[in-house]
Amino acid sequence: MELNSTTCGATFQETAFAAPAAHVLDLDKLLHRCMGNMDLVQRVLAKFQHRLPAELAELEQALADNNAEHVARVAHRVKGTAANISAEELHRTAATITELSRAGRLVELGKYLTQLRSDWQRYLDHTAMLPLDTSSGPDANLASASTSETSPCASSS
């Protein structure tokens, strides 16, 4: 099912979002950032869903290699992308991983990587219940709709 104007706003919130769900993904905020372009929202989320599993694996490998700099770099990328799509839980956990790795506190990161994977699963479970079509995958032509790959939607100023 595709997202359309009748599934946004109050009707969408009544059916798909309880208050805690906004911490998983605040679709209204993302839709606002994308200037109401629901096709763009779907493409942004599809690209995120395609990329994050590889980034999680990269984080785990960097931690196994005791490479704090690489952990910080990948966690920072996840943090920024999660913020751009309004995925608060993922953003918050990735921010913690970024800070700890920059401080060289790698021994503490195991539980936060577990938390990040848990946040990711909650995100997947939540988005599976939404009337979104994120099946376009990595072939979505995001570049034509945006000038920035990491921030495909307008700023939420």
What is the C-alpha radius of gyration for the chain, rounded to an integer number of angstroms?
A: 16
Question: Distance between CA 101 and CA 81 in Å, rounded?
Answer: 18
pLDDT in tens, 102-142: 999 999 999 999 999 999 999 999 988 887 766 655 444 43
Domain borders along the chain are 20-130
pLDDT in tens, 57-115: 999 999 999 999 999 999 999 999 999 999 999 999 999 999 999 999 999 999 999 99
In CATH, 20-130 is 1.20.120.160: yes
**Pair 126, 27: CB distance under 8 Å:** no
Distances (CA, A) of 23 to 98, 108, 117, 124: 19, 24, 15, 13
Burial class (CB in 10 A: 0-12, 13-18, 19+), 39: middle
